[in-house]
Structure 1
Amino acid sequence: MAQNRSDDTAASPDAAPSGPARIDGVDAARAIAVFGMFTVHLGVESMGLLSPEGYAWTLHGQVRGNSSALFALLAGLSLALMTGRTEPVTGDGRRRAVVRVLTRAVLIGMLGLLLDLTGVPVAIILTYYAGFFVLALPLTRLRTGALWAVAGVLAVVGPPLSFLLRDTVIDAGPRTSSLSSLTEFLLTGYYPAITFMAFVAAGMAVGRTDLRSTAVRLRLLAAGAGLSVFAYGGSWLLLHPLGGLDRLVEQGTAFMGGYPITPGMDPVLLEQLRAGVMEEANSISGQVPTDTWWWLAVNTPHTGTTFEIAEAVGQALIVLVACMWLAERVRWLMYPLASVGRMPLTVYTGHILVLMVIVGVDPVDWRQPWLLEWFVLGALVLATLWRLVASRGPAEAGLAVAADGMVDIVEERRRGL
């Protein structure tokens, strides 16, 4: 249960316009993040096509953490679109954009609090996202290069800073909900800002580029591949040739006490101990333990290390470019997927409410084979039908109306001064 609760994503405000300038591939990528969330929330026992004895855990492990990172990156991309696309908006336009972002953040945060009250075994991310939007507002003045620099600094400096603060200053108490304190939001929660703001800043950097340009897409693809190689290769180098994994074995984990490694040690036992450490690493939900700095060498999901951030951003860029390419060449096939990505807040909220009913009926054995497939199919069908009759999902339309209304109020008061 804890592992399923630890992840996964939420809905960002769908900020891209619905007209011809909209890029369906971005929506398709957002839908993939949503379905990754479904996979983690429902768990391997809810899969029908894949069994727990087969590739179900492989799929679960691949999307866990990466889907929330992808959605955070796309949230940053949406913020860039809301605040000027390739050129940061200034003057009156910036003021109106800030009002819209703040209004959306407040409403999304309130919705997150309400969904958290449903008691479903899911770490609701909406309240975190609301805070990310507010933190990202000063970054909306920046262009692509500066935003990539911010993302890089957060990815490199954030993990050791978080480690140091949690080791010496912060006393992380037990989690009682998805988000219950400022400390959880910044450092110790399921989706700590010190990690996820790197994804948001990277997404804003992507949103400041011309995503219709083939050259830009090729650069993003190369960057994604390079970051992935760095993440896997760097972590492997530190853990294996440089002995980090054995230092973690000697330090001990939640599964076992420290175990000294000696010359001539039984290689079978040593491999079992190493596997125990990696099992511990794969069960982390937000940030690594602070008993040894070697934890910063892992790149498993939800660890918040530099390697995990690089791996998640790299894979997100690859998924984004692939979705844009496919959406332009097999539009009919990608249409349902893009439809889900056009109404992520609606789909996210809907899946939580449906899950609340299912868990309420059978709190113990609610995970049943094919449940995941039904969730995915239901989202695809309903989102496609809705797109045929309306340009936005109901939740997205409500956000837009509220944001525009708040802009009108602010402008009227300015004129009255």
Structure 2
Amino acid sequence: MAENRSGERAPQTHERARIDGIDAARALAVLGMFAVHVTVDSFGLLDPEGAGQPVHDLARGNSSALFAFLAGVSLALMTGRTRPVSGDPLRLVAVKVVTRAVVIGMLGLMLDVMAVPVAVILTYYAGFFLLALPLVKLRAGALVAVAAGLAAVGPPVSFLLRQDLVEPRTPQGAVTSLSEFLLTGYYPAITFMVFVFAGMAVGRLDLGATATRVRLAVTGAVLTVFGYAGSWVALHVFGGLDRLAEASGSSVGYPSSVAEDPQMRELLREQVMEEAHSISGQVPTDSWWWLAVGTPHTGTHFEMAEAVGQALLVLVVCLWLAERARVLMYPLTSVGRMPLTVYTGHLLVIAVVVGVLGPMDWHTPWLLEGLVLGAVVFAVAWRLLVGRGPLEAFLAMCADNIGEMYQENRRTRPPAP
């Protein structure tokens, strides 16, 4: 391991090599967001009323969580992988990370100005990097503890704060306030930082070791089962769904006796589950039983367990396939090497489609397939002909230039007396 002139460890060259499996997983996250953004009405290959809806439901919430999880993995890889960097190398990486966050945040704001009917994640994504930066010196065990601790206390703390201090409202776009970024937005930090910290913990492990992958797969399976089964038990065995149905009936003025009617009770249950599936960020605060749901974008213990568990499983499968089927995985790894370009590109295409067809009629069949095919063809061709994606190259150029300015400033600074 090389050391700098102050004796602090610098990252090894081979540690900066890309891991194709991570790129493949990142591609699935981005393409999953495609499916969510265009909705089932834009599916052509899959029947929107049949197989299309389960695919959309699986991608919703899980794809953005996987994206944040892999952001954590990337941050760990940039800061030393299994052995976190320190001293001057860490300060240089921190400068580059902050630069990347600023550029990504500005890009997110620019995309949001286009008023595309999509919840743009990039502004939140930039903020996640800044929140995670103080913890990059931690090793895997400490990061697991941080992620688990936030997952445990985050949902009730969010519930209490939003119940007493923050006026509930539907997010209107990119981050417009600190409370929206932390608590009430589409991708609230109190939930998504769990995914980022979990990804950082994974990035601190030896992902090439079979034992590590087995442990990650087992952990992922356990968390996934706990998330889905735990929510089902809380709602259907312990009566959470009935309590929410009663609260739903009371909120619209139904007498409590209405809930005793089997047909009305079933109708109220269906309404509750429809509301649970339509949540975008955090659960309502009219009943603590909302914390028992596990649907996407609810920020509950069960939803976070499902999302982290499935992210671990996706990562392990992608790592395995990328090593054994490199040619077949090449399209995915190409998309995953330029996620910022592909994500931004699909929003620009959607903006054009909305402008041509109108805000009510733009969900045309085969739009999803066209976006996916276009992204894959572009990514493969660009990778073969040019290399690094255009926005990724611009981001790296900004970070490198600011990093060089920082180093030059340190070299020319007079020594402290």
Shift of the alpha carbon at 1:106? 0.3
| Counterpart-to-counterpart distance in 2, 1:355 and 1:254 | 41
Equivalent in the alignment of 2:269: 274
Q: What does residue 6 of structure 1 align with?
A: none
Question: What is the CA-CA distance between 1:113 and the residue it aligns to?
Answer: 0.4
Q: 2:308 aligns with which of 287, 310, 313?
A: 313
Separation in 2 of the partners of 1:289 and 1:407? Answer: 44
Partner residue of 2:227? 231
Rate the CA distance shift 1:262–1:41 in 2: closer, same or farther, 3 A: closer
Out of 141, 156, 159, which is 2:155 matched to?
159
Q: Which moved more, 1:275-284 or 1:169-178?
A: 169-178
Q: Check 1:324–1:254 CA distance in 2 against 1; reply closer, same or farther (3 A cut).
A: farther
Shift, 1:133, TM fit: 0.3
Please, which runs of 5 or more residues in structure 2 have no aligned partner? 1-12
Q: Deviations 1:206-261 (Å, cap 9, x if unpaired)?
A: 00001111110000000000101111121112111111110000101799556636
Confirm or deny: 8 A CA contact 1:70 1:312 kept in the other structure: yes
* Kept after mapping to 2: 8 A contact 1:254/1:280: no
| Matching of residue 339 in structure 1 with residue 334 in structure 2 | yes
Aligned-partner Cα distance in 2 for 1:285–1:58:
18
1:18 shift after superposition: 10
AA in 2 matched with 1:240: H
Name 1:326's counterpart in structure 2.
321
In 2, distance between residues paired with 1:132 and 1:254? 39
Identify the range of structure 1 (269-278 vs 68-77) with the bigger mean alpha-carbon deviation: 269-278
Aligned to 1:249: 245
- TM-score normalised according to structure 2 size: 0.93
* Cα distance change, pair 38–18 in 1 and its aligned pair in 2 (3 A): farther
Q: Is the 8 A contact 1:109 1:128 kept in 2?
A: yes
1:133 counterpart letter in structure 2: F
Shift of 1:68: 0.2
**How high is the TM-score relative to the length of structure 1?**
0.93
Aligned-pair Cα RMSD in Å: 1.8
Seq. identity, %: 64
Task: Verify: 1:63 aligned to 2:36, yes or no.
Answer: no
SS of residue matched to 1:228: helix
The alpha carbon displacement at 1:278 in A equals 0.7
Deviation at 1:57, TM superposition (A): 1.2
Supply the distance in 2 between the matched residues of 1:269 and 1:65 (Cα, whole angstroms): 30
Q: Secondary structure at the match of 1:141?
A: coil
Judged with a 3 Å threshold, the aligned counterparts in structure 2 of structure 1 residues 153 and 338 are, in CA distance, closer, same or farther, namely: same
Rounded Cα–Cα distance in structure 1 between residues aligned with 2:86 and 2:333: 31
- Alignment length (residue pairs): 400
Distance 1:114 1:245 in 2: 41
Q: Is the 8 A contact 1:163 1:290 kept in 2?
A: yes
C-alpha spacing 1:258/1:248, structure 2 compared with 1 (3 Å): farther
The higher radius of gyration belongs to: 2
Contact 2:21 2:319 in 1 (8 A): yes
Distance 1:167 1:150 in 2: 25
2-structure distance, mates of 1:252, 1:262: 11
Q: Which residue of structure 1 lines up, in the alignment, with residue 71 of structure 2?
A: 75
Note if 1:29 corresponds to 2:12.
no
For residue 126 of structure 1, what is the aligned residue in structure 2?
122
* Alpha-carbon distance between aligned partners in 1 of 2:395 and 2:250, rounded to the nearest angstrom: 43
Checking the alignment, whether the CA contact within 8 Å between 1:246 and 1:261 is kept in structure 2 is: no
Judged with a 3 Å threshold, the aligned counterparts in structure 2 of structure 1 residues 168 and 272 are, in CA distance, closer, same or farther, namely: same
Q: Which amino acid aligns with 2:295?
A: T
2:83 corresponds to: 87
Stretches (4+) displaced over 4 A: 17-20, 253-259
The answer to whether 1:291 aligns with 2:286 is yes
Q: Does 1:172 align with 2:158?
A: no
Equivalent pair of 2:30/2:63 in contact (CA under 8 Å): yes
C-alpha distance 172-268 of structure 1, shift in aligned 2 (>3 A): closer
Q: Are the counterparts in 2 of residues 147 and 204 from structure 1 also a CA contact under 8 Å?
A: yes
Q: Quote the residue 1:202 is aligned against.
A: 198
Q: Distance in 2 between matches of 1:130 and 1:254?
A: 41
